[in-house]
Amino acid sequence: MSNMQHKQQQNIHARRRMYVVVGLMAFGLAMLLIRAVNLHVLQSDTLKARASHQHFHQYDVAAPRGAILDRHGRILSKSIEVPSIGALVGEIPKKNLKSLASALGIPLSKLQKKIKHHKGFRWLARQVSPAVAARVAALKILGVRQESEWRRYQPLGPETGHVLGFVGVDGHGLEGVERSMNQRLQGQAGTRLVQRDARGHSLPGGIWLKKPHMGSALTLTIDSNIQSVAYAALTEGIHKQHAKGGSVVVMNPKNGDILAMTSWPSFNPNNFTHYKPRQWRNRAITDIFEPGSTMKPFTIATAIDSKKWQANSRVFCENGSFRVADYTIHDDHSEGWLNLTGIIAKSSNIGAAKIALNVGSEQLGNHLASLGFGRRTGIGLGGESAGILLPPKKWGVVETANIAFGQGIATTPLQLATAFSVLANHGVKLTPRLVLSDKKNLGKQIFSTKTSQAVTQMLIAATGSNGTGKRAVPAGYHVAGKTGTAQKANNQGSYAKDKFTAVFAGFVPAEDPEVVIVVVIDEPKKSIYGGTVAAPVFRNIAATALPYLGSLPDMRASANWKVQQASVTSNAPPASGLTPHLIGLSLRQAFQQAEQQGYALRSHGSGWVTRQSPHPLTALSAGSNIEVWLNE
């Protein structure tokens, strides 16, 4: 092959190589172009989202719940900001786990379990104390940070626990008002965005994508002072009797407002996890009991409304023993002829039974149903019981006779308070309410005004010196009320011989009722009678609550009556020799009042006075001590 041919062949090979290189370059450029189009056009949104996720982290931030207030604007429940410890798990150096667990106050194994199989954000400890947060912050561990959350705090603690309920760690109401009004109280969560560096580590600061909005406030009809008084009186009464438990309801009969609702055993909603679920229930609306003789006023009212009976009508009470069908009814005391007032005052089962049998099951049953027995009150709290009231068509003569004096029927404390409010409110039934409202509570006439007035006079007699309810009367007032003592049913379909419910229900002042109070004591041990167990609790509540509400004891015979009246309504010092009214005052004001009258003051707690001993406007010698309890 000549040199020229060899050169030509080399040129051909060179050109071929060049074409291959150019082709490869063109192919590479084409692939890059396609890739660029794919990345910048076709996958643009996806890649931007991925980049944003890698460089930014967003998370929800809970909003504070609205406050719950009493009728005077005092805080019953509020949200407070507390520290919580969270972390981006993938960033935590393993060498720091032991010290982190120690700072959190948990075992290392528990911390390892929390973060196992997690790489993103994870809560390590929520709603911790400032001391724990400070210990963790001092370690300066990569990926671990402190966040702010909202925790619910109830200043009155056990006193309002059953009514208000509590809120879980995630900010949702789980019991009581917190649960039933959760939608209103719960705020709208916000969203916060934080930036990460090239290595994925969180950078300080951040921006709000959506700011959280606080929930709406809620004002209840509860009066925190009366609530505290009721709780203290109930607790004292139960401890004295070594009872199993109990409940109190205080209601304004003129508008249906619940001023106090408390139960015992209590629990602290600020630490609700320390208690068993059965301790959370609001006994005033969940627990039912046979009302015993507190049912007799409604039997008598039905009889008078039927026009078959009058207040002075007389019944022969069979000297203490009366047989209905194959069942014998007994009275605690042998009685002969009694008028209707006597039946109430002497609490005759036989007299009530005879009246009911004369009136008939249908009329009595319909009136009891109209009063609210056998149905929920509509107060708006979860877990409320309807009680037990069988339809009248299912009553025989024995059932009719028994229901007349409170056996074979079961009610809740709130239902009983609602029914007594009918007698206190001229025969008009109002729906009990727990949320304060300007809207008028429209009522329904159950008994005539004349009938209600007649039964009220009978109930006053029942608390007189010869009545079973005389221990319920605070000095200077008239009480219209009735005792009740009922055997508790057992699992065998009969009654336990050693388990009783003691009840007192009534209203005061009888002439112009300010409050209806129902006291229920479950299984008292020292005594079983409503007149000795529940009535003193009623008296203690009324003695403090009435002057606080501006309803003064009847001391018009005293020359200092006007001075005493001014002292209660304006919190000015009362006449010498009477305990000053300190409920609702600050600690400083209470000390001033006591000092001006020459009394020594002992205080417990802080805030405003919710309870005092001795009771306001009771006789007190110079130099004596006054003891007050305060709550914020």
Contacts of 155 by beta carbon, 8 Å cutoff, 6+ apart = 75, 76, 607, 631, 632
Supply 537's token pair: 């609790």
Kindly give the residue spans of alpha helices, DSSP state H, lying in 214-261: 224-241
Report which residue type is found at 584.
Answer: G
Q: How far apart are CA 46 and CA 447, in angstroms?
A: 74
Residue 107: other Cβ atoms inside 10 A: 11
Kindly give the residue spans of alpha helices, DSSP state H, lying in 334-482: 340-346, 349-359, 361-371, 397-404, 413-424, 449-462
Supply 237's token pair: 């009464």
Is residue 293 flagged as an active site residue? yes
Query: Which letter, b or e, does each residue of 530-567 get, where b requires 16 or more Cβ atoms within 10 Å of its Cβ?
Result: bbbbbbbbbbbbbbbbbbbbebbbebeeeeeeeebbeb
Supply 213's token pair: 């909005």
Q: How far apart are CA 25 and CA 133, in angstroms?
A: 61
Contact 608, 574 (CB under 8 A): no
Q: How far apart are CA 525 and CA 456, in angstroms?
A: 31
DSSP for 562-575, written as a single string:
HHHHHHHHH-----
Contact 505, 535 (CB under 8 A): no
Residue 29: other Cβ atoms inside 10 A: 10
Contacts of 391 by beta carbon, 8 Å cutoff, 6+ apart = 365
DSSP classification of residue 196: B
Supply 590's token pair: 């209470």
- Bridge pairing between strands 600-604 and 625-631: parallel
Residue 135: other Cβ atoms inside 10 A: 18
354 closest CA partner among 369, 339, 367, 371: 339
The catalytic position among 202, 228, 293, 551 is 293
Q: Which residue has the tokens 């969203």?
A: 191
Query: Which letter, b or e, does each residue of 157-190 get, where b requires 16 or more Cβ atoms within 10 Å of its Cβ?
Result: bbbbbbbbbbbeeebebebbbbbbbbeebbbeeb
Q: How far apart are CA 50 and CA 262, in angstroms?
A: 56
Query: Which letter, b or e, does each residue of 204-230 get, where b requires 16 or more Cβ atoms within 10 Å of its Cβ?
Result: eeeeeeeebebbeebbbbbbbbbbbbb
Q: How far apart are CA 509 and CA 477, in angstroms?
A: 6
DSSP classification of residue 64: P
DSSP for 144-193, written as a single string:
EEEEEEEEEE-TTGGGTHHHH--B-TTS-B-SHHHHHTHHHH--B-EEEE
Residue 297: other Cβ atoms inside 10 A: 27
> Looking at the annotation, which residues are catalytic?
293
